[in-house]
Structure 1
């Protein structure tokens, strides 16, 4: 006789399936993006000089592989142990934080460059950035630590989810919205101040990249806020890592484009990396 399942069991099982499909799609898209940019990436890795920015690129580029592998393991491997779910989720959360931290660092440095290495602007951005990071990490882990994990009661549905809603997780995304809105404002102010005096192609690329990145960050952060407030089960967190993966792709792709733009501007034989201090001297208005 077929077992009867409650409406909550069915909704939870469907949310886990959607969650799994989304992570599978993200992993496919990430591999596709890596394959498409393989030649450009290895040209950059082999011909650019080592710097802190290059190290930041490597971390930002390859940590999502670990993030996606961890989530796919958690979603596909049958698991009855809620403690193991909590452990795997904490590990994946660390990868997520590293990924978004590196992506945002790129654009803090770019904004600093647009402001001609202004120390006051840098100090303000770093102070705000550190405050947002510490607050987000503390709040996220403190909130999820008390929410129990469970698996689907329907056979054949793998993965696990938090049985109680954790709507408070929208607060870190509100903090991220505030940070990115502040960085976007700095970019727009600088662009308005110097739009007549700057004829540099690199400067124009920096401004366009910054505005597009912040617009995407604000949009996805807003989506996550509404998702966390309105949905339950696996639906709550389904766009969190999606945002981080997309922002990482944008940050690394934009850095590759910037490096190749600078390389062609100085001749194809100029094997240089783009540390952000060099951009300001080459591309920012005086």
Structure 2
């Protein structure tokens, strides 16, 4: 075996480890700089749906990234560790995708004045997404084959083959996100005016920003998985999880900060923290959607 043939896989896997460590560092840094806002806007508030979504979006990636980093530096290659890691790395991204899809559904539902038709349509699309992604992920995990590393420079088990069926899940996610942004743009063109309130402007701005961030990283991740060898296929998976988490939490912060500014109350302390709700009430008297404060 030539030096080049042994160096290339070792270099690629080392690059994957660097991206994993960098993603965990980015996640931790963002958590630290936002900790004061998290305490004031999340932990001091009652338990509501938005709070649960925030906590899942913020802390599940720490489990995902931490497990990936531990596996990447582990010197042992045992079947139970390898397949346990695969299951964890499959279920956590699926949960993360469902959580972010739920956030997109709620925000789009609010933008459309709590239209029940839109809600039914979005929930049906979400059910299709989960119905496609879950069996696809199971089939992909069953197809992954490992072997001993070609060189002692590589720790752990070495992936040698995997099915390309995982692209079906990626395409389903991209289509779902494209439908969401199309609905957002349609709503903006139909309802948005210069006289729209600050909350509505933040809602539209963050919706489009959120979409372009996650769509871009998902698309690049698909291209990387398609074009690079199997040992580099998950090069951007951890970075994608980190970026999704950061953007999701920023959206919640921006909405609550704008509501805070609209009420002109100034920063809240522990002593005077109160509970507020943002209501999206349609003009025709239909059921309103509440975003807890």
Number of the residue aligned with 1:75: 72
1:44 to 41, 44, 52: 41
Q: Equivalent of 2:113, from 101, 112, 116?
A: 116
Q: Deviations 1:12-63 (Å, cap 9, x if unpaired)?
A: 2222101100000001111110111010011112332221121111111111
Q: What displacement does 1:8 show?
A: 4.4
> 2:19 matched to 1:22?
yes
The answer on whether the counterparts of 2:58 and 2:245 sit within 8 Å (CA) in structure 1 is yes
* Residue number in structure 2 paired with 1:176: 173
SS of the residue corresponding to residue 162 of structure 1 reads strand
TM-score, normalising length: structure 1: 0.90
Distance 1:61 1:239 in 2: 18
Gaps of at least 5 residues in structure 1 are: none
List gaps (5 residues or longer) in structure 2.
287-293
Equivalent in 159, 163, 166 of residue 162 of structure 1: 159
Distance in 2 separating the partners of 1:161 and 1:133: 29
What does 1:216-227 correspond to in 2, within 5 Å? 216-227=213-224
Structure 2 matches for 1:225-236, cutoff 5 A?
225-236=222-233
Partner of residue 200, structure 1? 197
- Residue aligning to 2:29: 32
User: Whole-Å Cα distance in 2 between the matches of residues 234 and 262 of structure 1?
Assistant: 46
The number of residues matched between the two structures is 277
**Matched residue SS, 1:65:** helix
Query: Do the aligned residues in 2 keep the contact of 1:170 with 1:224 (CA within 8 Å)?
Result: no
* Kept in 2: contact 1:79–1:151 (CA 8 A): no
Normalized per residue, which structure has more helix? 1
Task: Give, in angstroms, the shift of residue 162 of structure 1.
Answer: 2.3
Aligned residue in 1 for 2:99: 102
Q: Which residue of 1 aligns with 2:243?
A: 246
Q: CA deviation at 1:64?
A: 0.7
Runs of 4+ in 1 over 6 A off after TM superposition: none
Range that drifts further, 174-183 or 257-266: 257-266
Pairwise CA RMSD = 2.1
**Quick check: 2:140–2:164 contact (8 Å CA) kept in 1?**
no
What is the alpha-carbon distance in structure 1 between the residues aligned to residue 130 and residue 202 of structure 2?
Answer: 27
